[in-house]
Structure 1
């Protein structure tokens, strides 16, 4: 190794040490991970990485309406680069790393490498077609300087420790799925913020989907989700009432009315969204409703729509998305 290359290597290690040392920075900037990923893939650092691994291809599948998070752009950019470097080094003969983002609502905790609590998240997933990580190594991959390979051109032995520290500072979670000989998938979970970065000219003017005081009934078993929906709908000019179960919704409608129901599909304990809607339309056949769920369009969702329910919107949703769905359904 030449003196120049030794110096460059030392500089990279120092940079990673500084990133680790600066843990606990104020995570207050409103950011969008799609922007951070797109910028990183155009960066000189990424171009340099690909010059070392020309047969490695990076592809993206970024959610169009990705929600924002609060964070540090510098630390997140560094983490994206470190995972991409790790993926490239795992594919010495070439391969593909797919970077995808998604809005995700978990109404139940999930167990993985981390125990991920319920809530609203933005996820970013890195899936490579590399060598994979043995289970015993995966357990230690985030330890500083833990590696079973010769340091690559981009490696410092601190890269994944930086990722771990950054995710934890952002109050997030990490999951790893790996199969030796097949590849590895890292999924990072970051809590959503409802704050906006800045006025986005591509968004519809809010006046286009404002309400006129119509009464909306929100039905959801999760208090936080009721509060989010209620806050958004009131901001849009609607009167809002919320209940925590399908049974409560049916009882409410026996004595009161609603212009539209925002209906969660999976509620526990008690009846689910489909059965709730069945009971409601047996009393009021023309009752308007839209469906909100953290899961994809299940058979229950489709069954409710066949009975007359309107649009399905996936949690977590934006103000614009729920606003347009409610406005469109009320027009029918």
Structure 2
């Protein structure tokens, strides 16, 4: 089958992600997985590496991707090989209790108040102890004043001020072993 690449014959599980936007022109589809290719304003909405990372993960797993786009929207289909073989060795079951926190301290850093509130509510219900700040600069000050936390949860793009990566780099100068998750959420007009 011919998609973005040639898909060999076999059994696949297909993950489909689609939207109902205006679609993409062929030039964009042809370049969409190129490093640093973006139609957005650099420095404000990302680096152009997101789909390059997707492409690399798909290639590393021997999977395939197909893109269909028209004026009704864009559809990404990811084809992952399946197998009927049973896994070798012991099968581990996931216990829900292992996912709950034991009061570990998490600092949520996000410039959007509602996102901070929702994230803290979820983590609190899961047994974590949360606090939040609205900027990278406030996170650095928090860590200077209160010491390190068990985990930083950092928004990558914050406006105004420094981004999540710069925040993490500066906090690591204060607490070199600080753990963090840096995320980038899709932004809509506020």
Normalised-by-shorter TM-score class: 0.5 to 0.7
The structure with the largest helix share of the pair is: 1
Matches within 5 A, 1:288-303: 288-294=179-185
Summarize deviations over 1:260-292 as a string: whole Å, max 9, x none: 111111111100011101111111111111122
Using the TM superposition, give the Cα deviation of residue 220 of structure 1 relative to its aligned residue in structure 2, in angstroms. Answer: 0.8
The aligned residue for residue 276 of structure 1 is: 167
For residues 129 and 109 of structure 2, the distance between their equivalents in structure 1, rounded to whole angstroms, comes to: 14
Matched residues, number: 116
Sort the Cα spacing of 1:176 and 1:262 in 2 relative to 1 into closer, same or farther, 3 A.
same
Structure 1 position 235 matched with structure 2 position 125: yes
The runs of 4+ residues in structure 1 deviating greater than 6 Å are none
Summarize deviations over 1:276-311 as a string: whole Å, max 9, x none: 01111111111111122226xxxxxxxxxxxxxxxx
Q: Which runs of 5+ in 1 are unaligned?
A: 1-58, 63-99, 102-123, 126-173, 189-202, 296-314, 316-332
Sort the Cα spacing of 1:186 and 1:248 in 2 relative to 1 into closer, same or farther, 3 A.
same
The aligned residue for residue 175 of structure 1 is: 21
Using the TM superposition, give the Cα deviation of residue 243 of structure 1 relative to its aligned residue in structure 2, in angstroms. Answer: 0.4
Using the TM superposition, give the Cα deviation of residue 61 of structure 1 relative to its aligned residue in structure 2, in angstroms. Answer: 4.4
Using the TM superposition, give the Cα deviation of residue 185 of structure 1 relative to its aligned residue in structure 2, in angstroms. Answer: 4.9
> Is the partner of 1:262 in helix, strand or coil?
strand
CA-atom RMSD, angstroms?
A: 3.0
For residues 178 and 286 of structure 1, the distance between their equivalents in structure 2, rounded to whole angstroms, comes to: 43
Matches within 5 A, 1:200-211: 204-211=94-101
If asked which structure has higher relative contact order (CA below 8 Å, sep 6+), I would say 2
Larger radius of gyration: 1
For residues 25 and 174 of structure 2, the distance between their equivalents in structure 1, rounded to whole angstroms, comes to: 53
Using the TM superposition, give the Cα deviation of residue 224 of structure 1 relative to its aligned residue in structure 2, in angstroms. Answer: 2.1
For residues 205 and 185 of structure 1, the distance between their equivalents in structure 2, rounded to whole angstroms, comes to: 45
Structure 1 position 285 matched with structure 2 position 176: yes
Which of residues 201, 205, 214 is equivalent to 2:104?
214
TM (norm. structure 1) is 0.31
Q: Which runs of 5+ in 2 are unaligned?
A: 1-11, 27-67, 75-92
For residues 179 and 288 of structure 1, the distance between their equivalents in structure 2, rounded to whole angstroms, comes to: 41
TM (norm. structure 2) is 0.53
For residues 155 and 69 of structure 2, the distance between their equivalents in structure 1, rounded to whole angstroms, comes to: 36
The aligned residue for residue 146 of structure 2 is: 256
For residues 71 and 129 of structure 2, the distance between their equivalents in structure 1, rounded to whole angstroms, comes to: 44
